[in-house]
Every structure is written in structure tokens, then in C-alpha cells.
Amino acid sequence: MSEFKTPYQLLGAEGIKQLAHAFYDVMDELPEARRIRDMHGKDLGDIKGKLTDYLTGWMGGPPVYHSKHGTVCLTDPHAGYPIGPEERDQWVMCFEKALERIDASDEVKEMLRGPIRQIAGAVQNRDESIKPNDDPNIIAIG
């Protein structure tokens, strides 16, 4: 019987950094992820670092995010953004494509499939996706 390994042990610190960067690169590139991309600032550098820090601890490595930024609450930073089923699914899609982009093993993909969906569901704060014209974060449509 083989010993259980965490995603952190399987990917390593560099692999997790590559995953976080690939996640936001995918989000930045795919038109079908535009809705969630627009929830972020133009420069994704800082958020890539924060996601790397978060994923490191979440995947079984050292608690880097907690050491740098304090406690972790995923719902608070997302509360100001309308996140419905479409946005949730876009987020999951970006994460799954990022795993493919870094050539993560099938073991890692399977290990993360359920938890990633749980995280996406936890930050969802609406039953329906918001229509672009109804987004309170957009001042002008046109």
C-alpha cells in the first residue's frame, strides 16, 4: 500500500506557483471567463501571489497565506461581487484548464476535483448569474 501524499507534496512549491499563475493566465485569455476576469484589476501580479500563498497551505504545505495576510476567509473578499452559477462554473473551468496547462497528474486532478467545486460553491453568493446590465460594479454600458 502506497503512502498518501498531499497535493503540495505531489506538485511542490514551484508547481503550485505555476498552477496559480496558469489559473489567472487562463482567466485572462478565455473570452468565456470574461465575467470573472472583469472582477479583478488590470494587473494580476499581486493576486497571483496571493493565490499561490493560499494554495500552498490549502494543499498541505506551509501556511504561507496565513503568515503574510492573517486568517483566511474566502467569502469576505468575494462578497462585493455578484457570483452566481455561471461565474462559479467559469472559475472551476479556469482551475481545471490551469491543471491541464501545468500537466498535473491525473492523481492530482482527481484529488482536487471535489474540493475545487466546494470552494467555488462556497463563494457563490447568488442563485442566478447577474446580467451585465444589472452589475452594480459597472457604471456605463456600451
- At 46, give phi and psi (nearest 5°): -65, -45
DSSP state of 38: T
The structural domain count of the chain equals 1
Task: Tell whether 141 is covered by a domain.
Answer: no
Percent of the chain residues past pLDDT 90, beyond the cut: 77
**Predicted local confidence at residue 141, as pLDDT:** 41
DSSP state of 66: H
**Predicted local confidence at residue 128, as pLDDT:** 82
Alpha-carbon dihedral 89, 92, 98, 100, rounded to 10 degrees: -90
Q: Are 91 and 120 spatial neighbours (Cβ–Cβ below 8 Å)?
A: yes
**Predicted local confidence at residue 74, as pLDDT:** 86
CATH of the domain at 73: 1.10.490.10
Please tell me the distance from the alpha carbon of residue 98 to that of residue 96, in angstroms, as a whole number: 5
pLDDT in tens, 88-114: 999 999 999 999 999 999 999 999 999
Q: Name which of 52-56, 125-129, 136-140 the model is least confident about.
A: 136-140
Note down the domain range covering 78.
11-132
111 Cβ contact partners less than 8 Å away, ≥ 6 residues apart: 7, 10
Q: Could you give the C-alpha distances from 41 to 17, 38, 67, 79, 108, in angstroms and in order?
A: 20, 7, 24, 16, 30
Question: Using CB atoms within 10 A of its CB, is residue 133 exposed (0-12), middle (13-18) or buried (19+)?
Answer: exposed
Taking residues 112-139, report their average pLDDT.
Answer: 79
Task: Tell whether 2 is covered by a domain.
Answer: no
Task: Tell whether 3 is covered by a domain.
Answer: no
Task: Tell whether 1 is covered by a domain.
Answer: no
Closest CA to 84 of 42, 39, 47, 44: 39
Task: Tell whether 138 is covered by a domain.
Answer: no
Task: Tell whether 6 is covered by a domain.
Answer: no
pLDDT in tens, 11-32: 999 999 999 999 999 999 999 9
pTM of structure: 0.87
DSSP state of 71: S
Task: Tell whether 95 is covered by a domain.
Answer: yes
**Predicted local confidence at residue 142, as pLDDT:** 38
Task: Tell whether 139 is covered by a domain.
Answer: no
